[in-house]
Structure 1
Amino acid sequence: MKGTLLLLALLVIGELGFQTTEACLSFIRSYGALLTSSRTFLHADVSQFYATVAERVAFEKLQDCLGEEGPKTKILNPQILSLYLSPECKKYYGDDIIKKVQDFLNQSNIH
């Protein structure tokens, strides 16, 4: 299921015409909205991409599936880590943003 989530997100990013590096932050923000149990946060996030009703329903289903996972699995997912810790994202956004994400994870004591 996690692979499906990543694939769906990458397809959405591709359809929106973003460069992969430009989409790193958008993807992380959308993934964060999926991790919450709040439909309000999720809808607010996907509305910036002008999501259709069917796309909103698909994201709600993804949110439900992710809700069944533990916090460690959700946040320290290797596919997700490899995306926002990738050299391309670091180069585009700079090490400062990546360091903030890493510091947040360390402060959250998720490991």
Structure 2
Amino acid sequence: MKGTLAVLALLLSGELGLQRSESLTSCPIFYEVFGTLSLGSRKLLDASLSLVNATPAEKEALGKVQDCYNEGGLTAKALDLQAMTSINTSPECISHSLATVEANL
């Protein structure tokens, strides 16, 4: 289950059209949708997905991901938070973020 959620989180980032060159604008959107996804409210999720013009099929698919989160409970959410933290604090991610900021200054 925890591996499935991690894969789904990665698919979510690809599904929202996140590209490394757009990380300054796409990262906040990704974290908003990811955070809303883990809250468990379908209305909040749909509102966040409306900001990125998600299609009905994308909304339905992410709703299914949210159902997995709700089924997994706090344990699943904590494991994903741990995974996201380790990814975001990795040397590769930090150096990429710094390079992106420098390139956009």
Q: Normalized against structure 1, the TM-score is what?
A: 0.65
Greater CA drift, 68-77 or 45-54: 68-77
Asked if residue 38 in structure 1 is aligned to residue 41 in structure 2, the reply is yes
The equivalent residue for 1:53 is 56
Matches within 5 A, 1:9-20: 9-13=12-16, 15=17, 19=21
User: Partners of 2:40 and 2:77 in 1: how far apart?
Assistant: 13
Quote how far apart the aligned CAs of 1:43 are: 0.5
Asked if residue 29 in structure 1 is aligned to residue 36 in structure 2, the reply is no
User: Partners of 2:21 and 2:9 in 1: how far apart?
Assistant: 16
Quote how far apart the aligned CAs of 1:79 are: 2.9
Can you list the C-alpha shifts for 1:13-40, whole angstroms capped at 9, x where unaligned?
A: 4x35563632322211111110112111
Q: Does structure 2 conserve the Cα–Cα contact (< 8 Å) formed by 1:66 and 1:74?
A: yes
Secondary structure, aligned partner of 2:27: helix
Q: Does structure 2 conserve the Cα–Cα contact (< 8 Å) formed by 1:24 and 1:84?
A: no
Alpha carbons of 1:4 and 1:41: their partners in 2 closer, same or farther (altered >3 Å)? same
Can you list the C-alpha shifts for 1:75-107, whole angstroms capped at 9, x where unaligned?
A: 4424322343341576368xxxxxxxxxxxxxx
User: Partners of 1:82 and 1:24 in 2: how far apart?
Assistant: 16
Asked if residue 87 in structure 1 is aligned to residue 89 in structure 2, the reply is no
Q: How many residues align?
A: 92
Q: Does structure 1 conserve the Cα–Cα contact (< 8 Å) formed by 2:38 and 2:77?
A: yes
Task: Give the number of the structure with larger relative contact order, counting CA–CA contacts within 8 Å between residues 6 or more apart.
Answer: 2
5+ residue gaps in structure 1? 94-111
The equivalent residue for 2:71 is 68
Identity %: 29
5+ residue gaps in structure 2? none
User: Partners of 1:45 and 1:16 in 2: how far apart?
Assistant: 15
Q: Normalized against structure 2, the TM-score is what?
A: 0.68
